[in-house]
Amino acid sequence: MDGVINIFKQKGETSFKCVSRVRKTLNVKKAGHTGTLDPEAEGVLPICVGRATKLVDYIMGKEKTYVAGFELGLVSDTLDAFGEVTETNGPIPAEEEVRKAFANHIGNTLQTPPMYSALKKDGVRLYELARNGIEIDREAREIEITSIELLAFDGRRGSVRVDCGKGTYIRSLIDDVGRELSCGAVMTSLMRERTGPFTLENAVTVEGLADEPEKHLIPMEEVLSEYDSLTIPEGFRKLLVNGVRIRDTRVTELANSGTYRVYSEEGRFLGLGERLEDFFYLKLNLV
């Protein structure tokens, strides 16, 4: 069984546990998720199965959409409402100031990952260090936020929709905004609505997989359907699969520069190939 299951992860479950349950339900050995969701978060969690586990990094790199609840006037060690929360007693700004503060984070900015995260330091998860009272310096990383929309605000609590790239922590975004407003802010809820082409509308719970799992298995070719297809002459199939960069014009003249879904003449899907200036190679081997 090879493909991707668009799972709806429910609150109260770790992403690792969700993958474990999918693996057991499908009776497969290889499965991996495409971006951790915190236990109290919910929403889209694409899980790659079988040979499709090679697509994990590809899917993780896709833009994501989140809807997050927040509350001003508070700070937290975990940057959300599920940690040790403290009131700041700082004056709460007007809605327009809140809107502008969020908008200031649109574009490419630097963000420091939170201690309570799944990132590793010397092989140890940061959240494990944090639980033992250890805090280490974290290097700020460049993130990209393409849009932020303030959906609601009642004078203290509100919600935002964020479209962002890989590695963006919504908890950190809300904490940063709270500090900039001099009142503090914590995330109170998080829903991931989208990861690339995977949306809430076509997501399924682990329980929903039990009856017809094949119905929810998205083929690798479909996941990569944004790329044009290209059929390679049979004599070059084995070379490509073995990692050879082909400079033969019988291959390079088949396509312009770019990335393609590559097929053998028998119609077998081989993976993603890339045509560069003077050669063609298989950049993602899915055989």
The catalytic residue positions are 38
CA atoms within 13 A on the CB side of 163: 6
Integer-rounded Cα Rg, in Å, for the chain is: 22
Task: Give the Cα-Cα-Cα angle 93, 117, 135 (nearest 5 degrees).
Answer: 85
Report d(CA 167, CA 134) in Å as an integer.
22
Reference 174, options 267, 280, 98, 255; nearest CA is 98
Report d(CA 239, CA 251) in Å as an integer.
12
Distance of CA 286 to the CA centre of its chain: 21
Report d(CA 184, CA 174) in Å as an integer.
9
